[in-house]
Amino acid sequence: MTRTPRTATARICAVSCAASPTPTSAGPALCVLTLVLPFTLGWAIGGTWVHATTALLWAGLVRIALLHHVTWSVNSLCHVIGRRPFRTRRHDRATNLWPLALLSLGESWHNLHHADPTCARHGVDRGQIDPSAAVIRLLERLGWVRDVRWPTPDRIAARRTHQSADTRTRAEEPVGTG
């Protein structure tokens, strides 16, 4: 069976799944591994059940809980509060919320994600940190992904809600903050 090459049009999830020939069959094993590995390392380094259980708690369960909370925060808060510098579909409430940027590895630049879902980088304005885009660029340089759709100035300008960076329109005003 030959696989057709995937393009990196989605974010990190699509990139990691593209590397696996059968991503659905590896899922349960990877879930177990992400819990067994911290427990095993805690046991190997500390030598006791207490160290193994502590490693499982912090490097396993707390890590998963934090990841889920950040993901849910992006998908809820970024549709309620923040800024909207880019046009999206009618009734689309996606915003950019800078406090979540580092925790979400750049996924909280959610407004551009909705305005241009195939763009590999969502933090395109000055000062917007986007670690996910850095990982995608690294994977592209290693040859693991190709046909990545990077933002161009024309592509970004076409989706902006305003023409000049000095002019702020009502669409870019902060939402839900008062």
pLDDT tens sequence for the chain (178 residues): 444 444 433 444 433 334 444 556 778 888 899 999 999 999 999 999 999 999 999 999 999 999 999 989 988 898 889 888 898 888 888 889 999 888 899 899 988 888 888 899 989 988 999 999 999 999 999 999 999 999 999 988 988 886 444 434 444 555 555 4
38, 117: one domain = no
Count of domains forming the chain: 2
90, 122: one domain = yes
Q: Which domain holds residue 152?
A: 83-178
- What residue type is assigned to position 88 of the chain? T
Q: What pTM value is reported for the model? A: 0.65
For 78, the 3-state DSSP assignment is: coil
For 163, residues 6+ apart whose C-beta sits below 8 A from its C-beta are none
Residue of 102, 108, 114, 106 lying closest to 73 (CA atoms): 108
The DSSP string of 86-128 is B--STT----B-GGGTTTTTTTTBHHHHHH-TT-S----STT-
